[in-house]
Amino acid sequence: MCSPVDQVHEVVAGNRYPGRGVLWVRTLGGALCGGYFLTGRSVASQARALRRGDGELIVSPTGESGHDPLRHYVAARERDGWLVFGNGEQVAVVSDLLQAGRTPAEALGGLEYEPDPPIFTPRITVAADLRGGRDTWFGAARRSRGGRAAADVLMLTVRDLAPGDAVLMTTYRSDGDRVATGEPFLEAWTEAADQNELLEELWGALAPEFRVAAAVFEPGRLADAAIRHAVDAQV
């Protein structure tokens, strides 16, 4: 397969500390897959796991620490014809708005970046229509590099992925020490035949000292998500 873009594992491995990331892929087997992954540098950020809920994947602590809204949240939700996933509590908000009949542009348009200076982590979210539509929407709220307090909200519509095509967003671009806001979006390709192979490609590309958890799931089958953790023994 010839492509002007890098493979998923090259894109991810080239960003040593990506923070959190979302991706939308069509595998070589023809299935659409969403993906979400977490990395962390602090003890609290690394002490997290992805747990299954009722139509949800939830980021929760692995120890006795209390709820932190910037670290613990619904990461993916599948309800009423929509799959929504992303890196914070906005996932539940966007899901509720879509269920209430709002358009993806309306539901994603109110995103704000995280209140965590000096990084001001972007909020990144994907909304996929499970009712047979062609389009999937990415939304990202980013702080202006010029210092404006108002969020710059990017919305990207993705359609008609060919087998092997992948689109992803990460919160950060980092060498592991210096952290900057990630690129608006990235395109890549994969040779993964299914969600399990895609998860292995993604997990293997994450730097072992930072990786926390990752999940890959087909739309309409979130309950069957393939999940990996760095702390399997504690989950």
SS3 readout for 128-176: EECCCCCEEEEEEEEECCCCCCCEEEEEEEEECCCCCEEEEEECEEECC
Mean pLDDT of 81-98: 97
**25 pLDDT more than 80:** yes
Enumerate the domain spans of the chain.
8-234
Burial class (CB in 10 A: 0-12, 13-18, 19+), 194: middle
Q: What's the chain's length in residues?
A: 235
Interval 90-135: pLDDT, tens: 999 999 999 999 999 999 999 999 999 999 999 999 999 998 888 9
Model confidence at 198, in pLDDT bands (50, 70, 90)? very high
Degrees to nearest 5, angle at CA 39 with 171 and 105: 35
Counting residues of the chain whose pLDDT is more than 70, the rounded percentage is: 97
Distances (CA, A) of 29 to 23, 33, 52, 126, 190: 17, 11, 25, 22, 11
Give the Cα separation of 180 and 214 in Å (integer): 22
Q: Which amino acid is at 201?
A: E
Please give the mean pLDDT across all residues of the chain: 94
Would you call 30 helix, strand, or coil by DSSP?
coil
pTM (2 d.p.): 0.94
Interval 51-70: pLDDT, tens: 999 999 999 999 777 788 89
Rounded to 5 degrees, what are φ and ψ at 111? -60, 145
Burial class (CB in 10 A: 0-12, 13-18, 19+), 118: exposed
CB 105 within 8 A of CB 145: no
Instruction: Please name the residues in contact with 170: beta carbons below 8 A apart, sequence gap of 6 or more.
Output: 15, 18, 19, 20, 21, 124, 182, 183, 186
Fold classification of 8-234 (topology level): Glutamine Phosphoribosylpyrophosphate, subunit 1, domain 1 (3.60.20)
Q: Pick the residue with more confidence: 134 or 35?
A: 35
Task: Give me the sheet containing 56-61, strands edge to edge.
Answer: 48-53, 56-61, 73-79, 82-86, 123-129, 135-143, 151-159
